[in-house]
Amino acid sequence: LSLFHIYSVFLSLSLFICIDIQEFYEVTLLNSQKSCEHKLVEVNHMAEQWEHTPGDPCSTGSRFQYSSQ
């Protein structure tokens, strides 16, 4: 693999991760209808998913499933 290819893959994955983080921030943390406790539960759930998701994080779309509560 060329250095350019590795760099391109890294940038692509970084972009998708940033999009996931932004979506989580908007859907969960900015939601004034959710309690601080509920937000904390969702943050911990997101962190656990992130730590335990093997392989390409972009292969199945967004890795994070948000609660609608």
Answer yes or no: is 21 within a domain: yes
Tally of domains in the chain: 1
Residue with tokens 């890795």: 63
User: Where on the phi/psi map is residue 66: left (φ > 0), alpha (ψ -120 to 50), or beta?
Assistant: beta
Answer yes or no: is 10 within a domain: yes
DSSP reduced 3-state for 34: coil
Answer yes or no: is 66 within a domain: no
Answer yes or no: is 69 within a domain: no
What would the two tokens of residue 6 be? 């590795």
pLDDT in tens, 26-55: 999 999 999 999 999 999 998 898 888 765
Answer yes or no: is 5 within a domain: yes
Domain containing residue 6: 1-52
Q: Is the pLDDT of residue 63 over 70?
A: no
pTM to 2 decimal places: 0.60
pLDDT of res. 51: 84
Dihedral in degrees, nearest 10, Cα atoms 21, 23, 24, 26: 120
